[in-house]
Structure 1
Amino acid sequence: MTFIGVGIIGASTSGWASIAHVPAIAASPEFELRAVSTSRPSTAEVAAARYGVPAFHDHRDLIAHPGVDLVVVAVKVTEHLRLISAALEAGKMVYSEWPLGNGLTEAQQLADQAAEAGVRTVVGLQGRYASEVRFARDLVRDGYVGRVLGTTMVGSGMVWGGEVADHGHAYWFDNANGATPLTSATLHALDPLHFVLGEFDSVAANLVVGRKQATVAVDGSTIPFTVPDQVSLIGTLDGGAAASVFYRGGASRGDNFRWEINGTDGDLVLTADWGNMQVAELKLAGGQGADPTVQPLEVPTSYLAGVPAELSRSAPGSVARLYREFARDLADGARTVPDFAHALGRHKLIDAIERASATGATQSLACPTPR
Structure 2
Amino acid sequence: MKTYRIGMIGLGGMAHSHIRWMAEEGRYEIAAVSDVNEKALAEKGDALGIAPGKRYADFVQLIADPDVDAVVSVTPNHIHAAIIRACLEAGKPFLAEKPFTRVFEEATALLAQYEPRPVPGMIGFSYRYTPAFRYARELVREGKLGTVRSFSIQYLQSWGSVLNDTPYIWRFDPEITGTGTLGDLGSHMIDLARFLFGEFKELSSQLRTLVPERRDPATGRMVKIEVDDFVSFQGLMSGDEAGIFQSSRNAVGSGNQHEVTIYGDDGTLHASTLDPERVVWTREEAPGRLARAVVDVPAQCKVTQYGDFLSLLDGGTPDGLPDFMDGYRNQEVLDAVIRASRERRTIGLPDSSDRKHG
The TM-score bracket by the shorter chain reads 0.7 to 0.9
Q: In the alignment, what sits opposite 2:122?
A: 122
C-alpha distance in structure 1 between counterparts of 2:305 and 2:152, whole Å: 26
C-alpha deviation, 1:18, in angstroms: 1.1
Query: Aligned with 1:251: secondary structure?
Result: coil
Contact kept in structure 1, 2:284 and 2:291, CA below 8 Å: no
C-alpha deviation, 1:219, in angstroms: 7.8
Q: In the alignment, what sits opposite 1:175?
A: 174
Letter in 2 for 1:134: R
Change (3 A) 1:181 1:282: farther
C-alpha deviation, 1:157, in angstroms: 4.1
Is 1:149 the equivalent of 2:149?
yes
Matches within 5 A, 1:88-103: 88-103=88-103
Q: Deviations over 1:301-339 (max 9, x none)?
A: 23236xxxxxxxxxxxxxxx2332233234345375222
C-alpha deviation, 1:293, in angstroms: 5.5
Change (3 A) 1:44 1:363: same
Matches within 5 A, 1:63-212: 63-162=63-162, 170-177=169-176, 178-212=178-212
Aligned residue among 322, 331, 338 for 2:322: 338
Q: In the alignment, what sits opposite 2:312?
A: 329
5+ residue gaps, structure 2, are none
Deviating more after overlay: 193-202 vs 96-105: 193-202
Query: Aligned with 1:139: secondary structure?
Result: helix
C-alpha deviation, 1:161, in angstroms: 3.0
C-alpha deviation, 1:281, in angstroms: 4.5
Contact kept in structure 2, 1:8 and 1:71, CA below 8 Å: yes
Contact kept in structure 2, 1:146 and 1:264, CA below 8 Å: yes
CA RMSD, Structure 1 to Structure 2 (Å) = 2.7
C-alpha distance in structure 2 between counterparts of 1:297 and 1:173, whole Å: 39
Matches within 5 A, 1:44-59: 44-54=41-51, 55-59=55-59
C-alpha distance in structure 2 between counterparts of 1:368 and 1:335, whole Å: 21
Q: In the alignment, what sits opposite 2:284?
A: 289
Is 1:230 the equivalent of 2:225?
no
Change (3 A) 1:90 1:59: same
Is 1:268 the equivalent of 2:299?
no
Contact kept in structure 1, 2:308 and 2:318, CA below 8 Å: no
Letter in 2 for 1:171: W
Contact kept in structure 1, 2:151 and 2:263, CA below 8 Å: yes
Change (3 A) 1:284 1:26: same
Change (3 A) 1:40 1:208: closer
Contact kept in structure 2, 1:267 and 1:294, CA below 8 Å: no
Deviating more after overlay: 171-180 vs 188-197: 171-180
Contact kept in structure 2, 1:114 and 1:121, CA below 8 Å: no
Aligned residue among 300, 316, 326 for 1:302: 300
5+ residue gaps, structure 1, are 274-279, 306-320
C-alpha deviation, 1:257, in angstroms: 3.9
Change (3 A) 1:60 1:356: closer
C-alpha deviation, 1:253, in angstroms: 3.5
Contact kept in structure 2, 1:205 and 1:233, CA below 8 Å: yes
C-alpha distance in structure 1 between counterparts of 2:172 and 2:30, whole Å: 33
Deviating more after overlay: 328-337 vs 22-31: 328-337
C-alpha distance in structure 2 between counterparts of 1:164 and 1:17, whole Å: 26
Query: Aligned with 2:251: secondary structure?
Result: coil
Aligned length: 345
Letter in 2 for 1:286: W
C-alpha deviation, 1:111, in angstroms: 2.9
Query: Aligned with 1:267: secondary structure?
Result: strand
Contact kept in structure 2, 1:37 and 1:57, CA below 8 Å: yes
C-alpha deviation, 1:112, in angstroms: 2.6
Q: Deviations over 1:12-64 (max 9, x none)?
A: 4xx10112x11222122443221112223332221122122333333244223
